[in-house]
Amino acid sequence: MNRHRARVGYLFVAPFLLVFVAMLVVPLAYAGYLSLFREQLIGGTTFVGLENYARALSDERLLGGVLRVGEFFLIQVPLMLLLGLFFALALDSGMLWLSRFIRLGIFVPYAVPSVVAALMWGYLYGPEFGPIAQLAETLGLPAPNLLGGSLMLGSLANIVTWEFAGYNMIILYAALRAIPSELYEAAAVDGAGAWRTAWNVKIPALRPALLMALIFSVIGSFQLFNEPQLMQRLAPNVIDSAYTPNLYAYSLAFTSQDVNYAAAVSFLLGVVIVAVSYTVQLAANRRRTP
């Protein structure tokens, strides 16, 4: 009976695992394999061991891209998560009028494709006919060059924040709704007000949800591609082909046709993401149990 049940269990998980192996494990292994070779004009493809990785680790264009997305992560993610947290707490406090409308309105950008978001903000940022520039002109102020070198990273951070703050709000809000009432009752007995309840009960209870949101943000930041790729056309002098590691891997594979090196770069990027994610988790867990 139990052996039969175990077999049934395998049958239930088999379809997922089959596709998982075919679409995730195999490509990953293939990327690892490819990254160990080099294609040469003379002599064809040769095994070069870790040479591509050595090249990647001293490739200033790649390192520049990694640093840039690292900076992006440090600027954008705290801002986005704090906004999401603030919105979720405000909604959960019961102190808002129109809370349903506000909640859905803030969440709507999540359903907008990043391509559309980037195109839209690209027009809004536009120095010639963008409304931001128009407003500045009407007020007689110098229009900020939102597509210029110094502001571009911030402009991209704004697009991503616009897209995902509402999503994070919903995740955190859902977690807040699931806090058992006993915790609130205990806080009420202690005479805690709204702010102290938020600080002492709600935020600690949000830990797992915040950590999950943070991990997804690590992944999203370091993979940054769509937004800069679309802004590239508006500001080709600011966003080059190695602006982010993913743009670089893309141009290596499809413009330079150097798939072996592109595979090594993709693989390294994956390693960076996993390493940062684990660091974030370790840091979070260490703080929980000092």
The interface with other proteins within residues 76-115 (CB under 8 A) comprises 83, 87, 90, 92-100, 102, 104-115
d(CA 99, CA 92): 9
Per-residue b or e along 55-66, where b marks 16 or more CB atoms closer than 10 Å to that residue's CB: ebeebebbeebb
DSSP for 241-258, please give it. TTSSHHHHHHHHHHTS--
Do 113 and 129 touch, CB atoms closer than 8 A?
no
> Contacting other proteins (CB under 8 A), which of 48, 120, 136, 151?
120
Verify binding: residue 128, other proteins, rule CB under 8 A. yes
The residues in 23-82 that bind other proteins, with binding defined as CB under 8 A, are 23-24, 26-28, 30-31, 34
Nearer to other proteins, 58 or 181 (CB): 181
Nearer to other proteins, 113 or 149 (CB): 113
Return the sign of the alpha-carbon dihedral for residues 236, 68, 49, 279.
negative
Shortest distance (Å) from residue 180 CB to other proteins: 6
Shortest distance (Å) from residue 38 CB to other proteins: 15
Residue 37 sits at φ, ψ, to 5 deg, of -120, 170
Nearer to other proteins, 156 or 259 (CB): 259
Nearer to other proteins, 179 or 203 (CB): 179
d(CA 258, CA 269): 17
What binding mask, one character per residue, do residues 156-195 give for other proteins by CB under 8 A, x or -? ------x--xx---xxx-xx-xxxxx--x--xx---xxx-
The residues in 225-254 that bind other proteins, with binding defined as CB under 8 A, are 225-226, 229-230, 233-234, 246, 249-250, 253-254
DSSP for 193-216, please give it. -HHHHIIIIIHHHTHHHHHHHHHH
The residues in 249-288 that bind other proteins, with binding defined as CB under 8 A, are 249-250, 253-254, 259, 262-263, 266-267, 269-270, 273-274, 277, 281
Piece in contact with other proteins (CB under 8 A), picked from 47-55, 68-76, 146-154, 208-216 = 208-216
Shortest distance (Å) from residue 215 CB to other proteins: 7
d(CA 107, CA 112): 10
Do 96 and 90 touch, CB atoms closer than 8 A?
yes
